[in-house]
Chain A
Amino acid sequence: MAAQPLFETYAENTSGAPCWDLCIGESHPPYHEADRSRKTVSFGLLSEFWLSQFYLWGCLRMPSGVTTLEIPRAKTLQAFRNAYAVWVTALETTSNECPRAAEGPRKETWTVSGQESAWRKWVDAGSLNELENAIVKSEWLLTLEDDWDDEGAQKYSRETLDRALLFLKNHMQWAREKNGAALAVPRILPGPNGSIDLHWKSPAYEVLLNIPPAPALASFYGDDYGNIRIQGTLDPSAFNLGVLSWLIRR
């Protein structure tokens, strides 16, 4: 089957795991009885996104029933996209059944192994792509060696970069769960003395947040180009509602 994804959306199941839906084939959700006669494949990508790893399961609706398979993890969403074609080929030649089978039309609920799950609200998939891209791009900071500015600047550690990225990922998740909102993705930049700068700039506000090597606290400053300012220090591993309220995309 020459498979092409028809559409891609993002949702969650009740376990709280972010899911990508990649629908391939000749029809798309919501499914109808007619779909059973077609090789329609729906992938639910249960993402351990916050660990930057993905794995996926698939729901294959064939005339003979419903089958799911687990596929080895892909490190990035792009790798998953690259791998799906191979997976579809494998599905066509495999007729495994496993306990994690989804049944029924995938509108409001789906049932896996007798456990009912419900889709949550849809979230703009684009914001997660943007964050993923920024995280991948930030790896260049680790290629900077000591004296990377020809003036004695200090290089960056994986631990400090991960500290900054974890702050971003956590607050993106919290923004989504508590506010149903997308977090604006900042520039991830080289800071002084081995620290990482996160810089947000929008027509509504600008914020600079500096994350030094552990265990020092992060510091931040921002304003709305007018009289409203925000500044202080925070523990980057902890949730900060004050900062979060500024960083929600607007």
Chain B
Amino acid sequence: MRVHRNNAPDGELAPGAFRDIGRGMSTDWQKYSTAEETRARAGVPQKNGVTCMVAGGVRSCGLLVEHDPIPVNRAHTEIVGIKSTEVRFKLLRLARWVMPLELNQSI
């Protein structure tokens, strides 16, 4: 999952990163996308890092993990369900950086 730098002040992931955009929270299935490719799909890639979460852990939060390939992204996956305070708390515990933010970037 891409994380914009404003959702990770000082490089530390913030729970606000876990929010819905449209139907759900957009992520990429690791099977079909590298971290670099995920980041490259951002509007301004240099402003983003990439995190990963184990799908089973996400489902244990009461969320649905739905592979939803789109023409420009075979890896696209939606995490569907209410992103309550409790859920965001738990997702924050699950998430790990696989491509940390580049903190010294001037954009």
Residues of B contacting A192 with CB < 8 Å?
A: 16, 19-20, 83, 88
B9 and A209 within 8 A (CB) = no
Q: Interface on A for B, CB 8 Å cutoff? A: 140, 144, 148-153, 187, 189-193, 197, 199, 206, 208-210, 219-222, 231
> Do A208 and B4 have beta carbons less than 8 Å apart?
no
Mask: chain B, 77-91; 1 = CB below 8 Å from A; 0 = not: 000000111101100
Q: How far is the CB of B24 from chain A (nearest CB, A)?
A: 13
B4 with A197: CB separation less than 8 A: no
Q: Report yes or no: A150 in contact with B85, Cβ–Cβ below 8 A.
A: no
Once the chains are docked, how many angstroms separate the CA of A221 from the CA of B86?
5
CB <8 Å contact, A219 and B85: yes
**Is A197 a contact of B14 with CB atoms below 8 Å?**
yes
14 other A-B residue contacts (CB within 8 Å) besides A189-B15, A191-B15, A210-B85:
A151-B21, A153-B4, A153-B19, A187-B12, A189-B14, A190-B7, A190-B14, A206-B89, A208-B92, A209-B85, A220-B85, A221-B84, A221-B85, A221-B86
**Chain B residues within 8 Å of A189, by CB:** 9, 14-16
**Residues of A with C-beta under 8 A to B47:** 150
Q: Name the interface size band of chain B.
A: 20 to 34
Q: How far is the CB of A202 from chain B (nearest CB, A)?
A: 14
Q: Shortest distance in angstroms between A144's beta carbon and chain B's nearest beta carbon?
A: 6
CB contacts (< 8 Å) of A220 on chain B: these are 85
Among B7, B9, B19, B42, the one with the most A-chain Cβ atoms within 10 Å of its Cβ is B19
| Closest A-B pairs by Cβ, 3 of them | A149-B4, A192-B19, A221-B86
Chain A positions within 8 Å of B4 at CB level: 148-151, 153
A153 and B42 CA atoms in complex are apart in Å by: 14
- How far, in Å, is A133 (CB) from chain B's closest CB? 13
What's the Cα separation between A2 and B67 when bound, in Å?
Answer: 70
Contacting A at CB under 8 A, from B46-63, are 47
User: B72 in the interface, Cβ–Cβ < 8 Å?
Assistant: no
Question: Given A149-B6, A208-B88, A222-B89, are A191 and B44 neighbors across the interface (CB < 8 Å)?
Answer: no
B1 to chain A, nearest CB (A): 11
Any A CB within 8 A of the CB of B43: yes
Could you name 24 residue pairs across A and B whose Cβ atoms are closer than 8 Å? A149-B4, A149-B7, A150-B44, A153-B6, A187-B9, A187-B14, A189-B9, A189-B14, A189-B16, A190-B7, A191-B15, A191-B16, A192-B16, A192-B19, A192-B20, A197-B14, A199-B15, A206-B89, A208-B88, A210-B88, A219-B85, A221-B84, A221-B85, A221-B86
Nearest opposing residue in chain A for B19, CB measure: A192
